[in-house]
Amino acid sequence: MQKHGVTIIKASADLAEEQGACPKTLETRYGNGILPIDTYKKDLDELVPHKERMPWKSLRNKLQKTGIRNSTLMALMPSETSAQISNSTNGVEPPRSFVSVKQSKDGVLKQVVPEYRRLKNKYELLWDQTSPVGYLKIMAVLQKYIDQGISVNTSYNPTFYEDEKIPMSEMLQHLLMFYKYGGKQLYYFNTYDGQGEIEIQSESSDNTQDVLATQELDDEYCESCVI
pLDDT at 97 over 70: yes
- Answer whether 193's CB lies under 8 Å from 146's CB: no
- The pLDDT confidence band at residue 218, using thresholds 50, 70 and 90, is very low
pLDDT band at 223 (very low <50, low <70, confident <90, very high): very low
Beta bridge mates, 197? 100
DSSP bridge partners of 190: 155
Distance between CA 178 and CA 172 in Å, rounded?
10
For residue 216, pLDDT over 80 is answered with no
pLDDT of residue 204: 44
pLDDT of residue 82: 76
> What digits encode the pLDDT tens for the residues 108-121?
778 888 999 999 89
Q: Which of 5-9, 129-133, 211-215 is predicted with the least confidence, judged by mean pLDDT?
A: 211-215
Domain boundaries, the chain: 2-66, 80-95+113-194
Q: What's the pLDDT score for residue 198?
A: 62
How far apart are alpha carbons 213 and 171 in whole angstroms?
Answer: 41
pLDDT in tens, 8-17: 999 999 999 9
10 and 47 in contact (C-beta within 8 Å)? Answer: no
Model pLDDT, residue 48: 96
d(CA 119, CA 162): 33
DSSP 69-124: SSS--------HHHHHHHT--STTSPPS-SEEEEEETTEEEEEEPTTHHHHTTT--
Q: Give the closest residue to 39 by CA, choosing from 29, 48, 47.
A: 29
CA distance 72 to 12: 10
